[in-house]
Structure 1
């Protein structure tokens, strides 16, 4: 492809993308294919000679689109929002064209410096303390990672390195593996599955602690666990708290957890993958009270801030802990300005990195703080609208407080009714929602996901659910002869203080039941 063909087909592709997004509401949100469908449409081997790109363009609708679930459709309500916008797409286009690998400042200064500036912008937007920012010339600052899952692992490794070095300094005779064998980290029974997985990958014991009736972890439970583990010879070193859990969008109590972490020298990492974007709105910042106790915080603009995947931002108060843990500095990576600016290869697990701050810069400038606030508030209003429709119907109950853009609900009565309801909804192909299980309580989740979702879309989605409910209840009458009585569900906390090998109510799967509902981490 020469430059003239690139101009031609580039324009065609932009037109195709614009039409796709503009008319996405008209597409059936759920794919209708079976495993292996594409093998029948493509040859077994790559073509020996290059093909005309116009033929490739024709095959997008024929081969690719039949196997797509349309995440940016207003009829998609599964998982959490998957960010996207035209400015973000343009940012990725330019990043791909420049193609720099920004592992150090010297390789392309703009790649590093724009990331420093935009992560500071974003940190101020969500109200972070100045210790988390680059701009005060302290050891803190922000960095763009690929996912929140990677960030949890990164922070856990940095915390492990820090505590091992501290203990070895006092006890030079102790072997590193002997110390690691005694380490214990904590998270809640509602945390994303990436947290216990990070413990598994990092060879440390990760303990899930019970949450209260609002699915929130508090300091009383943490203190009890620490005291018990210390008594048994373990070394508490890490806590991953959640602001906006994957199952129900619950918020751990940082105001009580933070002082305990400070008292015991425990690294507090705050996972705000979804809800962190909402802190751009001052009315939601009450949920981040106590953030000053955190060592690290991460949020995913690629979820709820209109940025295309991947763009997960992490802030740290003292970047030297990352550098100490990951610094391998051969001569061919060094440059004369080392120490004056961040070399982000020391702040992450991979060496290479893309120019991801371009799409963040484009989007924040195109929408402005007010535009982002308006978008998030609108999603929250639509969630409340759906909640009112559900409650006014009378056949449903809401199983967790609707705080942001997520509604958790179930049919009153036996679990089988909600399971059948999901089957009926998905069989229509008109909307996409998923289930979750929290402490044996099965429910359905409806998340407001697409930028262009309207009140009319929400009412239309509710009508799909309502008609599916009519069919389920009709079948129930036929089978049972009458409605079964509503069952009172006991959602009192379970004792889950144990190893990460215990049953994972919020992070495993059980047939069609999805517990961990945040794949874009």
Structure 2
């Protein structure tokens, strides 16, 4: 128990010290991991306190943690005291969420339905409305499941027997997260299976007109459109696709619409940003990652689908030794993801949401948006900079061009005050500033 208390104390100290910290500590170069760790696990047990102390050295050598407020390079990865306590409880239970563990499975159903209502999702995406919600480790797993379900919906059980034919097509933009391309490759569709649709140069959103034309062209060429991936908050620029316009095209063509709202979907908790997910009733599947903005800690993404039977059919394998002998419980949650080992991540999600409450979550989300707005106002006042602020992201570039922008980013990193990242948009280099924590 003392080690558990130490872990919680360490988090509290980390959070407070990070808030007051100055420059980022750079990671030690070279073989510092080898210097801290022995070559082999010893025959005799080590004291928990000793290993924990060594881990503290390890983290210190690794530089500042993701919690540090000056880490604004990527996307927020937030946590909280309730999430940490929930991790301990989940570890003590060490539960698999199978049909043989009805309590954990029902908790997962209830929790994902509760979050869906907070986000304003259509009833058809929830367990109560005939759909399903499942807690996964990442949004990447969500798009993997979506593609498998889409292949079943498009090709039927024939796909299970014969596999892909090579004529399947998935529609994205150049702003779509790279996990979609990885998924298409992993599914055996090949690079040709990914069709990049033109996006609006100003908003970054997928053009509905161009999507309709691309699908029509592929159908005329005898190809098989399978899935469209829309994004609510692209990583590069926080662009938001029009779910209503894209959804109408998908509905008319019988296409699976997967909505990647992993990052910015959480802002729909705010009434003033509920419109971000307008049109989600068209979605065949939708993913939001609470570990980005809703304080659950890493490894918590939620996938909802209105076609759970299609997802389950894609990977259904008879395993009677895992059955619980209790009919009528609906889709086995194992059928909605590839791994059969399913840790109880819904416990962490549900406890975090309940302990923080909706009012506190709204406050934290508005704080995130407010930080971005303040940085954006500062950037707008700099005559040598061009800037854009979208949701929780600020983009800026030096008006003299990409070379000057890169020089500015290099100078920022040499100074060590903050860690930022960059993105190439419409051929121009932009600096990304994503305040989080």
| TM-score normalised per structure 2 | 0.94
411, 415, 428: which one pairs with 1:424?
411
Q: CA deviation at 1:63?
A: 2.8
Uncovered stretches (5+) of structure 2, i.e. residues with no partner: none
Whether the 8 Å CA contact 1:164–1:176 is kept in 2: the answer is: no
The answer for the alignment partner of 1:176 in structure 2 is: 162
CA–CA distance in structure 1, aligned partners of residues 27 and 179 of structure 2: 30
CA–CA distance in structure 1, aligned partners of residues 134 and 226 of structure 2: 23
Q: CA deviation at 1:71?
A: 1.0
Q: 1:287 to 1:42 in 2, by over 3 A?
A: closer
The answer for the alignment partner of 1:274 in structure 2 is: 263
Specify the SS of the correspondent of 2:51.
helix
Q: CA deviation at 1:105?
A: 2.6
365, 368, 373: which one pairs with 2:362?
373
Q: 1:8 to 1:258 in 2, by over 3 A?
A: closer
Specify the SS of the correspondent of 2:185.
helix
The answer for the alignment partner of 1:158 in structure 2 is: 149
Deviations 1:452-501 (A, max 9, x none): xxxxxxxxxxxxxxxxxxxxxxxxxxxxxxxxxxxxxxxxxxxxxxxxxx
CA–CA distance in structure 2, aligned partners of residues 203 and 43 of structure 1: 41
Cα RMSD, aligned residues only = 1.8
Whether the 8 Å CA contact 1:120–1:134 is kept in 2: the answer is: yes
The answer for the alignment partner of 1:89 in structure 2 is: 84
336, 342, 361: which one pairs with 1:353?
342
Whether the 8 Å CA contact 2:32–2:61 is kept in 1: the answer is: no
Specify the SS of the correspondent of 1:246.
coil
CA–CA distance in structure 1, aligned partners of residues 274 and 9 of structure 2: 40
50, 53, 56: which one pairs with 1:58?
53
In the TM superposition, 1:23-422 aligns within 5 A as: 23-27=17-21, 28-102=23-97, 104-106=98-100, 108-136=101-129, 138=130, 140-165=131-156, 176-177=162-163, 180-204=165-189, 205-213=193-201, 214-398=203-387, 400=388, 402-422=389-409
Whether the 8 Å CA contact 2:8–2:84 is kept in 1: the answer is: no
Q: Which has the larger radius of gyration?
A: 1
Whether the 8 Å CA contact 1:218–1:254 is kept in 2: the answer is: no
CA–CA distance in structure 1, aligned partners of residues 358 and 19 of structure 2: 27
Whether the 8 Å CA contact 1:164–1:180 is kept in 2: the answer is: no
Whether the 8 Å CA contact 1:159–1:238 is kept in 2: the answer is: yes
CA–CA distance in structure 2, aligned partners of residues 117 and 268 of structure 1: 24
8, 14, 25: which one pairs with 1:14?
8
CA–CA distance in structure 2, aligned partners of residues 17 and 216 of structure 1: 39
CA–CA distance in structure 1, aligned partners of residues 261 and 25 of structure 2: 28
CA–CA distance in structure 2, aligned partners of residues 307 and 217 of structure 1: 30
The answer for the alignment partner of 2:421 in structure 1 is: 434
Whether the 8 Å CA contact 2:138–2:301 is kept in 1: the answer is: yes
Specify the SS of the correspondent of 1:23.
helix
Whether the 8 Å CA contact 2:99–2:322 is kept in 1: the answer is: no
Q: CA deviation at 1:81?
A: 0.7
Q: CA deviation at 1:282?
A: 1.7
The answer for the alignment partner of 1:492 in structure 2 is: none
CA–CA distance in structure 2, aligned partners of residues 176 and 54 of structure 1: 55
Q: CA deviation at 1:143?
A: 0.6
The answer for the alignment partner of 1:487 in structure 2 is: none
The answer for the alignment partner of 1:498 in structure 2 is: none
Range with greater deviation from structure 2 (67-76 or 240-249): 67-76
Q: CA deviation at 1:341?
A: 4.1
Q: CA deviation at 1:110?
A: 2.2
CA–CA distance in structure 2, aligned partners of residues 305 and 449 of structure 1: 11
CA–CA distance in structure 1, aligned partners of residues 321 and 293 of structure 2: 39
Q: CA deviation at 1:90?
A: 0.8
CA–CA distance in structure 1, aligned partners of residues 6 and 365 of structure 2: 32
Q: 1:414 to 1:318 in 2, by over 3 A?
A: closer
CA–CA distance in structure 2, aligned partners of residues 319 and 414 of structure 1: 48
| TM-score normalised per structure 1 | 0.80
Q: CA deviation at 1:30?
A: 4.4
CA–CA distance in structure 2, aligned partners of residues 46 and 133 of structure 1: 46
- Runs of 4+ deviating beyond 6 Å: none
Range with greater deviation from structure 2 (194-203 or 59-68): 59-68
Q: CA deviation at 1:26?
A: 4.3
The alignment of Structure 1 onto Structure 2 pairs a total of residues equal to: 432
CA–CA distance in structure 1, aligned partners of residues 171 and 49 of structure 2: 54
1:449 equivalenced with 2:436 (yes/no): yes
Q: CA deviation at 1:403?
A: 2.7
Deviations 1:214-250 (A, max 9, x none): 1111210111101111121111121111111110000
